[in-house]
Amino acid sequence: MTLISSALGGWLAGALSDRIGRVRTLQLTILWFSGFTFICAFAQTFPQLLAAKALQGFGFGGEWAAGAVLMAETISPENRGKAMGAVQSAWAVGWGAAVLLYAAAFSWLPTDTAWRVMFGVGLLPAVLVLYVRRNLREPVRTAPADKPEKAPLLLQVAEIFRPQVLKTTLIGMLLGTGAHGGYYAIMIWLPTFLSKERHLSVLNTGAYLAVVIVAFWCGCIASAYLLDRIGRRRNVALFAFWCIVTVLAYVMLPLSNVQMLVLGFPLGFFAAGIPASLGALFNELYPAQMRGTGVGFCYNFGRIASAAFPVMVGYMSHSMSLGAAIGIDAAVAYGLAMVSVLFLPETRGKRLRPTSPEQTPGSADGADLALSRARSQR
């Protein structure tokens, strides 16, 4: 429920950011997410918790969409990839903090109370709204001279299927599906694979969890640097290729417990590099008036469609080993990401003008792109 609602929330929040502004939408999504996370702590039945988690998901997905567009339009073209990839790495920091909080809560409190405390802490991000209101300014947006009447929100979200950007949207959907599909195929089935086929307890150790978290952070940081160094397309294709190599080695080779622990680092490292690339890439593909809608849709469509990949792993495991099913399924997903990104234009250094559609290289924006690259080289 959270996965589906967060994907829908990201799409709708992206469209809302095109309508009422990036900063205001970010404030609303932070408050929404924090509020419903806090409400989860007071659930008395499973249906109540399910409903609260579904509503929480709208804010969870919406925060990323609004925040990613805000950052893309604020950071300079030369540093956009590094900044957005670095912010994505903070996921690992929050992950580690949650693990420590979990250990403390369930060590010091009764189980029936500890999980409620975990949800209650979710109210703290609401404090960020005070910072957002004081310190973040809405990026400059040039309105059309005739100021046409705003279309209903549901019609606005369909703007990304106009003929001018339809190809971009379709390829973005495939890229998002492959990027998320490979990750979910591995991470959802990995515990079962390690315990049932390899008979390893490595996943239950603190050492393994630490390796995965550190690997995710390192992968995001490396991807952030490479985005502005070698470009968006090459970076995604590079990480997707090595994802295929590492996952096949992980599930096919006869590895020991210690070897599994060691190989867990490159597995998490390369899996993190693609999500860290998507924020900068998707933002640079769409014109300003539909940028939020496009970013929110492409990223979150992939999250919903990617659910098919772990389902396929379960289906395929009836006729082959679970390891082979995971390897083939994840390789297909990452292969889809690697191929689809090659059909997108390279957008490194692109200036995001606060006007209607960005021009193609060779026009005024093409000159800006060349100038920004020359400055970067100097």
Higher-confidence residue: 202 or 107?
107
CATH code, 79-111+159-364: 1.20.1250.20
157 three-class SS: coil
Q: DSSP readout, 89-125?
A: HHHHHHHHHHHHHHHHHHHHS-HHHHHHHHHHGGGGG
On the question of pLDDT at 146 being above 80, the answer is no
Q: What is the pLDDT of residue 223?
A: 94
Q: What is the pLDDT of residue 365?
A: 43
On the question of pLDDT at 13 being above 80, the answer is yes
On the question of pLDDT at 44 being above 90, the answer is yes
121-134 tens-digit pLDDT: 988 888 888 888 77
Distances (CA, A) of 163 to 169, 173, 208, 283: 10, 16, 48, 18
Q: What is the pLDDT of residue 178?
A: 93
275 three-class SS: helix
Higher-confidence residue: 347 or 210?
347
On the question of pLDDT at 2 being above 60, the answer is yes
Cα angle vertex 61, ends 341, 12, to 5°? 90
Euclidean distance between CA atoms 359 and 350, whole angstroms: 10
Averaged pLDDT of the chain: 84
Check if the beta carbon of residue 249 is closer than 8 Å to that of residue 225. Answer: no
Q: Report CA Rg, the chain.
A: 21
Tokens of 138: 């809405």
- The region of weakest confidence among 93-97, 111-115, 228-232, 245-249 is 93-97
Bridge partners for 361 per DSSP: 363
Per-range mean pLDDT, top range of 19-23, 74-78, 100-104, 330-334 = 330-334
pLDDT band at 203 (very low <50, low <70, confident <90, very high): low
On the question of pLDDT at 319 being above 80, the answer is yes
On the question of pLDDT at 151 being above 70, the answer is no
Q: DSSP readout, 162-219?
A: STTTHHHHHHHHHHHHHHHHHHHHHHHHHHHIIIIIS---GGGSHHHHHHHHHHHHHH
Euclidean distance between CA atoms 297 and 64, whole angstroms: 12
Distances (CA, A) of 10 to 113, 139, 293, 304: 31, 20, 9, 11
Alpha carbon 117 to chain centroid, angstroms:
27
On the question of pLDDT at 76 being above 60, the answer is yes
Domain regions of the chain by residue span: 79-111+159-364
145 three-class SS: coil
